[in-house]
Amino acid sequence: MTTAPIQVEQLDFVWVLRIHRVEKKNALTAAMYEALTAGLEGAIADAGVRAVVITGGESCFTAGNDIGDFIANPPVDEKSPVMRFLRAVSTFPKPLIAAVNGVAVGIGTTLLLHCDLVYAGEGARFSLPFVDLGLVAEGASSLLLPQLVGRRKASELLLLAEPFDAATALAMGLINRVLPPAEVEAFALAQAQKLAAKAPSALQTTKALILRPQQDAIAEAIAVEAHHFAAQLRSPEAMEALQAFMEKRKPRFS
Ligand code: COA
The CATH number of whichever domain residue 27 belongs to comes to 3.90.226.10
Q: Does 233 contact ligand 1 (Cβ within 6 A)?
A: no
Distance CA 105, CA 138 (A): 12
101 inside domain: yes
Query: What pLDDT sits at residue 3?
Result: 80
Using the mean position of ligand 1's atoms as its centre, give its distance from the Cα of residue 104 in Å: 11
- Where helices occur in the chain by DSSP H, the ranges are 30-45, 67-72, 81-90, 107-110, 141-155, 166-171, 181-196, 200-211, 215-233, 236-246
Instruction: List, for residues 138-170, the tens digit of each pLDDT value.
Output: 999 999 999 999 999 999 999 999 999 999 999
104 C-beta closer than 6 A to ligand 1: no
110 occurs within a structural domain? yes
Note whether residue 147 is domain-resident.
yes
Q: What is the pLDDT of residues 58-70, one digit of tens each?
A: 999 999 999 999 8
Range of the domain at 125: 6-181
Binding site membership of 63 for ligand 1 (Cβ less than 6 Å): yes
Measured from the CB, is residue 105 less than 6 Å from ligand 1? yes
CA of 187 to the centre of ligand 1 (A): 27
Which residue's alpha carbon is at the smallest distance from atom 10 of ligand 1? 24
Distance 25 CA to ligand 1 centre (A): 6
In a domain, 119, yes or no: yes
Read off the pLDDT band of 76 (50, 70, 90).
Answer: confident
Model pTM score: 0.97
**Ligand 1 center to 63 CA (angstroms):** 6
Cβ(195) to ligand 1 under 6 A? no
In a domain, 205, yes or no: no
Count: domains in the chain: 1
CA 238 / ligand 1 centre spacing (Å): 16
Q: Which numbered atom of ligand 1 lies nearest the CA of 138? A: 48
With a 6 Å cutoff on the Cβ, whether 134 touches ligand 1 is no
The closest of 181, 232, 245 to 24, measured between CA atoms, is 245
Write out pLDDT tens, residues 106-149. Answer: 999 999 999 999 999 999 999 999 999 999 999 999 999 999 99
Distance CA 170, CA 159 (A): 20
Task: Supply the DSSP symbol for 62.
Answer: B
**Cα 24 to middle of ligand 1, angstroms:** 6
Do the domain assignments include residue 200? no
Residue 73 lies in a domain: yes
In a domain, 20, yes or no: yes
End-to-end CA gap in the chain: 49
Of all protein residues, whose CA lies closest to atom 45 belonging to ligand 1?
64
Q: What is the pLDDT of residue 20?
A: 98
3-class secondary-structure state, position 224: helix
Q: Is the pLDDT of residue 204 over 60?
A: yes
- pLDDT at residue 146 in the model: 98
Instruction: Tell me, using a 6 A CB cutoff, whether residue 64 lines ligand 1.
Output: yes
